Amino acid sequence: MQYEIKWFQFVIDSIPSKFLTCCNADNKTPVELFIENHGELVSNGGEWLVKTSEAYSVVAGLIATVAFATSTAVPGGVKDNIGTPILENRIPFHLFAISSLIALCFSVTALVTFLSILTSRYKATDFGKDLPLKLLIGLTSLFFSIAAMLISFCSGHLFVINDKLKYVAYTVYAATCLPVTLFAVMQFPLYFDLLDSTFRKVPRRSYMA
């Protein structure tokens, strides 16, 4: 539908504006005819967007829940007399604190974006740029939140193991991150298709009417 709208806009830009108000034998303007002929495509696209946004909203909500609980936790506890973190001078602690906050911010952004898609009107013109751009922003935020959540988990877990088990833990971390990473990788075809369809321009005329 996005390409159809782009080509329709290309045709509109290529003809004199007076033709846009002309009606055919059925007393319909070009815009009305375009919307009528693409009604089924709009309906199918709307249903797909609803199902996709609902699925991604669940994932984003789960990540936001975990990230919120993680971002408010302090590994190792705090000093009783001043309340500062005991492990504040260690690099993994800074990595944990930053990544958990990033995961929370991006997961909430993804959740809000997908909810905005679910509450859209799904008009034909919305499929031109508005809805694809929202889906692209939501997916981007979701990918960043997944990556940040995994970094937060690995860096936070380093505090509960001793030096002798660190090399074993790295293998466990890789095995733990693998399913989530595969989920993100499986979404890449959709993500790159969205990038291509959103930012690719239809051929533009090289002359002035």
Copy the structure tokens of residue 106. 């991006």
pLDDT of 107: 92
The structural domain count of the chain equals 1
Q: What is the maximal distance between C-alpha atoms in the chain?
A: 85
112 assigned to some structural domain = yes
* 23 occurs within a structural domain: no
Could you count the other beta carbons within 10 Å of the beta carbon of residue 208?
4
- Residue 184's pLDDT is 76
Our measurement of the distance from residue 188's CA atom to the centroid of its chain's CA atoms, rounded to an integer in Å, reads 11
The pLDDT tens digits for 140-192 are 999 899 888 888 887 777 776 656 666 677 777 777 778 777 877 888 888 88
Residue 116 covered by a domain? yes
Q: Is 201 helix (H, G, I), strand (E, B) or coil?
A: coil
DSSP for 39-107, written as a single string: HHHHHHHHHHHHHHHHHHHHHHHHHHHHHHHHHT--TT-B-TTT--BTTTTSHHHHHHHHHHHHHHHHH
pLDDT at 114: 92
Say if 189 falls within a structural domain. yes
**Span 94-125, pLDDT tens digits:** 888 888 889 899 999 999 999 998 888 777 77
Q: Where is mean pLDDT largest: 9-23, 50-64, 160-174?
A: 50-64
Of 75, 135, 77, residue with least CA distance to 99: 75
Average pLDDT, the chain: 76
Question: What pTM value is reported for the model?
Answer: 0.73
CA distances from 199 to 6, 9, 202, 206 (A): 11, 15, 10, 20
Is residue 77 one of the residues assigned to a domain?
yes
> Which residues on neighbouring strands pair with residue 152, listed in sequence order?
none
Residue 205, in any domain of the structure: no
Average pLDDT of 41-47?
76
The rounded distance, in Å, linking the Cα atoms of 70 and 10 is 49
Containing structural domain, residue 53: 2-15+30-199
Cα 49 from chain centroid?
A: 13
- What pLDDT was estimated at residue 113? 93
- Quick check: 96 and 152 in contact, CB under 8 A? yes
The answer as to whether 118 is a domain residue is: yes
